[in-house]
């Protein structure tokens, strides 16, 4: 009698398991993705203002265009990985981000910034949260939360190393030269690493990123349609969308705000401290997050950011500002990780990849307007106080929303089954 292929479940706790190599690749991917695509935006805004004297609102709207374009792509990352495989998608993301980095350094007219940001959006889709969580979902099931948390420390490292190094490189090579150097380093490091370590996922992994059979799994269209009728999914997506709107708007303008208060060099240090604390916060949470009420942890994180913003607005002492940036940063990393962990806990694992891509796209569409709105309100009011107080309001609203869970979580509930 002929027997079908036998798939053995890999030991995800073993250090020899191939999945941990993928975690390292995703860590590096996140380092460049966030370093050039997310935290780098604060450098681009400040540098383009300095070089060309363009209004903050004009440059910030370019950042908004980047996030909106990226959101349209991130929503379909799960399908792209299924069609082309994680290796090809990662290389495509790295290649387009390198082109975008060089292009941003060559910008001379506003329309060129928008074109460069369009390429950056493709690179962001191939190097950021949707790509990383979907890829790790193919290698991990029981240890998925830990794998995602460890890999996304690369996002924080991208801020810790990326912003100061970019500022330092701009001082030595000028803005165009620094961006070319960043692109060369990224391609030279990442392409060989991806080709060597990213192979075929385990045979048991489904297209949706779950370690279960996909024979009776719902289609991505069904999953998305049902998610929009699920209170639990809607409160998660809306709460994190509001918070990330405030968080991204604040971080993108942080150097510009601090530049006039404590100077460019100390402002760069403050951003580095913020992102360093994001690593500390994520690592500390990783030991207890599986045992915690993740929605409550999210709400407390939102409130802590609101408190930090109050200090930033009202206290202009160097040490107080550094402390406020540290407090704000403590939850930054977890706000990237928590949505995926809540989705994993509350919904069918077969829907993990599609739901994470969807919530990432929703959040990105919303927070895409953060930099532009903050910049516009700053230009209208003449200071950052008004937009930063608005961010505080959004943080507090989100803290209430995230605690509305709807009916008891059912892994086979309407958003997933």
Domain 19-401, classified CATH 1.10.1740.10, yes or no: no
pTM for the structure as a whole: 0.75
Q: Which long-range contacts (CB under 8 A, 24 or more apart) does 115-119 make?
A: 117/62, 117/63, 117/65, 117/66, 117/69, 118/65, 118/66, 118/69
CB atoms within 10 A of CB 230: 21
What is the per-residue pLDDT across 37-72, written as a single tens digit (0 to 9) for each? 887 887 887 788 888 878 777 887 887 788 788 888
| The pLDDT of residue 6 is above 60 | no
**55-86: burial string, b at 16+ Cβ within 10 Å, e else:** ebbbbbbbbbbbbbbbbebbbbbbebbbeebb
- Write a three-state SS string for 280-309: HHHHHHHCCCCCCCHHHHHHHHHHHHHHHH
The whole-angstrom separation of Cα 368 and Cα 244 is 9
**Nearest C-alpha neighbor of 389 from the set 367, 374, 368:** 374
CA angle 265, 268, 273 (to 5 degrees): 125
The whole-angstrom separation of Cα 249 and Cα 372 is 8
pLDDT of 183 reads 93
Mean pLDDT of the region 64-89: 85
Which two structure tokens, joined as six digits, stand for 408?
């008891």
The whole-angstrom separation of Cα 194 and Cα 199 is 9
What is the per-residue pLDDT across 366-416, written as a single tens digit (0 to 9) for each? 877 887 788 888 888 888 889 999 999 999 999 999 998 765 444 444 444
Mean pLDDT of the region 112-117: 89
Query: Which of 69-83, 179-193, 289-303 has the largest mean confidence?
Result: 179-193
Percent of the chain with pLDDT over 70: 89
Contacts of 345 (CB under 8 A, 6+ apart): 294, 409
pLDDT of 13 reads 62
What is the per-residue pLDDT across 286-340, written as a single tens digit (0 to 9) for each? 777 767 788 898 999 999 999 999 998 888 888 888 889 999 989 887 887 788 8
What is the per-residue pLDDT across 219-264, written as a single tens digit (0 to 9) for each? 777 787 887 778 888 899 899 999 999 998 888 788 778 777 777 6
pLDDT of 212 reads 44
Weakest mean pLDDT among 125-134, 143-152, 259-268: 259-268
Write down the mean pLDDT value for the chain.
82
Mean pLDDT of the region 188-212: 73
Query: Which residue spans within 227-335 are E strands per DSSP?
Result: none
Position with higher pLDDT, 156 vs 79: 79
pLDDT of 32 reads 92
Instruction: Give the C-alpha distances (Å, rounded to integers) separating 200 from 8, 84, 85, 326.
Output: 15, 11, 8, 40
Query: Which of 132-141, 157-166, 188-197 has the largest mean confidence?
Result: 188-197
Which two structure tokens, joined as six digits, stand for 177?
């030269």
**Nearest C-alpha neighbor of 139 from the set 130, 149, 148:** 148
The whole-angstrom separation of Cα 52 and Cα 202 is 51
Residues in the chain, overall count: 417
How large is the greatest C-alpha to C-alpha distance in the chain, in angstroms? Answer: 80
């Amino acid at each position: 009698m002929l027997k079908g292929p036998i798939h053995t479940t890999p030991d995800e706790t073993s250090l020899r398991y191939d999945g941990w190599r993928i975690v390292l690749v995703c860590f590096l991917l996140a380092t460049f993705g966030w370093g050039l695509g997310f935290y780098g935006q604060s450098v681009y805004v400040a540098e383009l203002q300095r070089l060309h004297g363009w209004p903050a609102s004009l440059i910030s709207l370019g950042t908004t265009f980047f996030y909106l374009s990226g959101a349209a792509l991130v929503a379909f990352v799960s399908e792209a990985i299924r069609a082309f495989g994680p290796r090809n998608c990662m290389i495509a993301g790295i290649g387009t981000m390198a082109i975008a980095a060089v292009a941003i350094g060559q910008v001379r007219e506003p329309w060129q910034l928008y074109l460069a940001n369009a390429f950056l959006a493709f690179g962001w889709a191939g190097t950021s949260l949707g790509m990383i969580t979907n890829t790790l979902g193919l290698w991990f099931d029981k240890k998925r939360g830990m794998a995602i948390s460890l890999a996304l420390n690369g996002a924080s490292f991208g801020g810790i190393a990326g912003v100061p190094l970019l500022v330092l490189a701009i001082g030595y090579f000028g803005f165009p030269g620094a961006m070319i150097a960043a692109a060369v380093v990224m391609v030279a490091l990442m392409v060989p690493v991806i080709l060597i370590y990213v192979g075929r996922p385990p045979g048991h992994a489904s297209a949706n990123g779950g370690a279960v059979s996909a024979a009776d799994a719902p289609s991505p269209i069904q999953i998305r349609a049902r998610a929009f009728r699920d209170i639990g999914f809607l409160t998660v997506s809306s709460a994190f969308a509001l918070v990330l709107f405030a968080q991204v708007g604040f971080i993108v303008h942080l150097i510009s705000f601090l530049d006039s208060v404590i100077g460019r060099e100390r402002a760069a240090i403050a951003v580095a401290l913020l992102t360093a604390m994001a690593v500390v916060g994520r690592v500390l949470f990783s030991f207890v997050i599986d045992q915690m009420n993740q929605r409550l942890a999210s709400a407390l994180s939102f409130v802590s950011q609101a408190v930090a913003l109050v200090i930033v607005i009202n206290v202009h002492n160097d040490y107080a500002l550094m402390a406020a940036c540290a407090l704000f940063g403590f939850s930054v990393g977890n706000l990237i990780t928590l949505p995926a962990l809540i989705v994993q806990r509350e919904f069918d694992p077969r829907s993990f990849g599609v739901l994470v891509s969807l919530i990432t796209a929703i959040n990105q569409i919303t927070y895409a307007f953060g930099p532009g709105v903050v910049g516009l309100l700053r230009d209208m009011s003449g200071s950052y106080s008004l937009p930063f107080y608005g961010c505080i309001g959004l943080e507090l609203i989100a803290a209430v929303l995230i605690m509305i869970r709807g009916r008891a979580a059912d892994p086979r509930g309407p958003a997933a089954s």
